[in-house]
A and B are shown apart, each in its own frame.
Chain A
Amino acid sequence: MTDNDVTRGKKILVVGVGNPILSDDGVGIHIARRLKEIGIPGVDIEELPASGLELLDMVLGYDHVVIIDAIVTNGGTPGDVYNLEEGDFERTVHGASPHGVNIATALALGRRLVGDRMPSSTRFIAVEAADIVNVSENMTPAVAASAQSVVDELAAELTRD
Chain B
Amino acid sequence: MSGPIINDTPTKTTEKKITIDPITRLEGHGKIEIFLNDQGNVANAYLQVPELRGFERFCIGRHVQELPVLTNRLCGVCPAAHHIASTKALDAVFNAEPTETAKKLRELFYMGQYTHSHIAHFYALAAPDFVLGPSAPANKKNVLGVVDAVGVEIGAEVIKHRSYGQKVQEIVGGRATHPCFGLPGGVSKQISEEERAQMEEMAKSCVEFAKFTVKLLHDVVLANQDYMDLILNQDAYYLETYYMGMVDKNNKTNFYDGDIRVVDQTGKEVEKFKPSEYLDVISEHVEPWTYMKMPFLKKVGWKGFTTGPSSGIYRVGPLGRINVCEGYTTPLAQAEYAALAKTVKDLGVTGPVHHTLAFHWARVIELQYATERMLELASDKSITSDDIRGVVNEPTEGVGICEAPRGTLIHHYASDKDGLCTKINMIVATTNNYAAINTSVNQAAKALIKNWEVSPGLLNKVEMAFRCYDPCNSCGTHALNGSPALEVNVRRADGSKLETLKNF
Q: Show the binding face of A for B, using Cβ within 8 Å.
A: 17-22, 25, 48-54, 56-57, 67, 69-74, 84, 89, 91-103, 105, 108-109, 112-114, 124, 126, 129, 132-136
User: Does B455 count as interface, using CB distance less than 8 angstroms?
Assistant: no
Closest 3 CB pairs of A and B: A95-B485, A97-B484, A50-B76
When the two chains form their complex, are residues B485 and A93 in contact, meaning their CB atoms are under 8 A apart? yes
- Please indicate the chain B residues that have their CB under 8 angstroms from the CB of A105 in the complex: 142-144
- Please indicate the chain B residues that have their CB under 8 angstroms from the CB of A74 in the complex: 24
When the two chains form their complex, are residues A72 and B26 in contact, meaning their CB atoms are under 8 A apart? yes
- Please indicate the chain A residues that have their CB under 8 angstroms from the CB of B53 in the complex: 133-135
When the two chains form their complex, are residues B483 and A95 in contact, meaning their CB atoms are under 8 A apart? yes
Within 8 A of A (CB), among B141-183: 142-144, 147, 152, 155-156, 159, 162-163, 166, 176-178
Max chain A Cβ within 10 angstroms of own Cβ: one of B52, B155, B478: B478
Count of inter-chain pairs, beta carbons less than 8 A? 197
When the two chains form their complex, are residues B120 and A50 in contact, meaning their CB atoms are under 8 A apart? no
When the two chains form their complex, are residues B143 and A109 in contact, meaning their CB atoms are under 8 A apart? yes
- Please indicate the chain B residues that have their CB under 8 angstroms from the CB of A112 in the complex: 144, 147, 152, 155
Q: Whole-angstrom distance from the CB of B206 to the nearest CB of chain A?
A: 16
- Please indicate the chain A residues that have their CB under 8 angstroms from the CB of B70 in the complex: 21
Max chain B Cβ within 10 angstroms of own Cβ: one of A50, A84, A95: A95
Interface SS of chain B: loop
When the two chains form their complex, are residues A98 and B474 in contact, meaning their CB atoms are under 8 A apart? yes
Interface flags, B51-78, vs A, CB<8A=1, else 0: 0111101100000000000100100111
Q: Whole-angstrom distance from the CB of A44 to the nearest CB of chain B?
A: 15
When the two chains form their complex, are residues B481 and A92 in contact, meaning their CB atoms are under 8 A apart? yes
Take A18-B478, A99-B125 as given contacts and tell me if A133 and B155 are in contact as well, using a CB distance cutoff of 8 Å: no
When the two chains form their complex, are residues A100 and B485 in contact, meaning their CB atoms are under 8 A apart? yes
Q: Whole-angstrom distance from the CB of A70 to the nearest CB of chain B?
A: 4
A22, A51, A96, A133: which contacts B22 (Cβ < 8 A)? A96
* B contact residues, total (Cβ < 8 Å): 65
Q: Whole-angstrom distance from the CB of A8 to the nearest CB of chain B?
A: 29
Q: Whole-angstrom distance from the CB of A142 to the nearest CB of chain B?
A: 16
Max chain A Cβ within 10 angstroms of own Cβ: one of B76, B467, B480: B480
Take A25-B479, A112-B144, A113-B159 as given contacts and tell me if A98 and B485 are in contact as well, using a CB distance cutoff of 8 Å: no
- Please indicate the chain A residues that have their CB under 8 angstroms from the CB of B481 in the complex: 71-73, 89, 92, 126
Closest to B58 in A: A135
Closest to B148 in A: A112
B77, B139, B144, B503: which contacts A50 (Cβ < 8 A)? B77
When the two chains form their complex, are residues A135 and B504 in contact, meaning their CB atoms are under 8 A apart? no
Take A17-B480, A109-B155, A133-B50 as given contacts and tell me if A101 and B485 are in contact as well, using a CB distance cutoff of 8 Å: no
When the two chains form their complex, are residues B147 and A98 in contact, meaning their CB atoms are under 8 A apart? no
When the two chains form their complex, are residues B120 and A109 in contact, meaning their CB atoms are under 8 A apart? no
Q: Whole-angstrom distance from the CB of B348 to the nearest CB of chain A?
A: 33
Max chain A Cβ within 10 angstroms of own Cβ: one of B121, B177, B483: B483
When the two chains form their complex, are residues B73 and A92 in contact, meaning their CB atoms are under 8 A apart? no
When the two chains form their complex, are residues B504 and A72 in contact, meaning their CB atoms are under 8 A apart? no
A22, A56, A91, A95: which contacts B486 (Cβ < 8 A)? A95
When the two chains form their complex, are residues A99 and B124 in contact, meaning their CB atoms are under 8 A apart? yes
When the two chains form their complex, are residues A49 and B50 in contact, meaning their CB atoms are under 8 A apart? no
A48, A99, A108: which contacts B120 (Cβ < 8 A)? A99
Max chain B Cβ within 10 angstroms of own Cβ: one of A22, A98, A108: A98
- Please indicate the chain A residues that have their CB under 8 angstroms from the CB of B178 in the complex: 49
Take A72-B24, A135-B52 as given contacts and tell me if A93 and B142 are in contact as well, using a CB distance cutoff of 8 Å: yes
When the two chains form their complex, are residues B159 and A98 in contact, meaning their CB atoms are under 8 A apart? no
Closest to A99 in B: B120
- Please indicate the chain B residues that have their CB under 8 angstroms from the CB of A124 in the complex: 480
User: Does B476 count as interface, using CB distance less than 8 angstroms?
Assistant: yes
When the two chains form their complex, are residues B162 and A53 in contact, meaning their CB atoms are under 8 A apart? yes
When the two chains form their complex, are residues B159 and A56 in contact, meaning their CB atoms are under 8 A apart? yes
User: Does B230 count as interface, using CB distance less than 8 angstroms?
Assistant: no
Closest to B153 in A: A113
- Please indicate the chain A residues that have their CB under 8 angstroms from the CB of B463 in the complex: 96
Within 8 A of A (CB), among B12-60: 20, 22-28, 30, 50, 52-55, 57-58
A67, A95, A96, A133: which contacts B476 (Cβ < 8 A)? A133
When the two chains form their complex, are residues A54 and B121 in contact, meaning their CB atoms are under 8 A apart? no
A48, A54, A95, A98: which contacts B472 (Cβ < 8 A)? A98
Report how far A112 CA is from B77 CA in the complex, Å.
24
A22, A92, A129: which contacts B483 (Cβ < 8 A)? A92
When the two chains form their complex, are residues A51 and B503 in contact, meaning their CB atoms are under 8 A apart? no
When the two chains form their complex, are residues B480 and A70 in contact, meaning their CB atoms are under 8 A apart? yes
When the two chains form their complex, are residues A53 and B22 in contact, meaning their CB atoms are under 8 A apart? no
User: Does B406 count as interface, using CB distance less than 8 angstroms?
Assistant: yes
Take A56-B159, A95-B483 as given contacts and tell me if A109 and B144 are in contact as well, using a CB distance cutoff of 8 Å: yes
B20, B55, B406: which contacts A135 (Cβ < 8 A)? B55
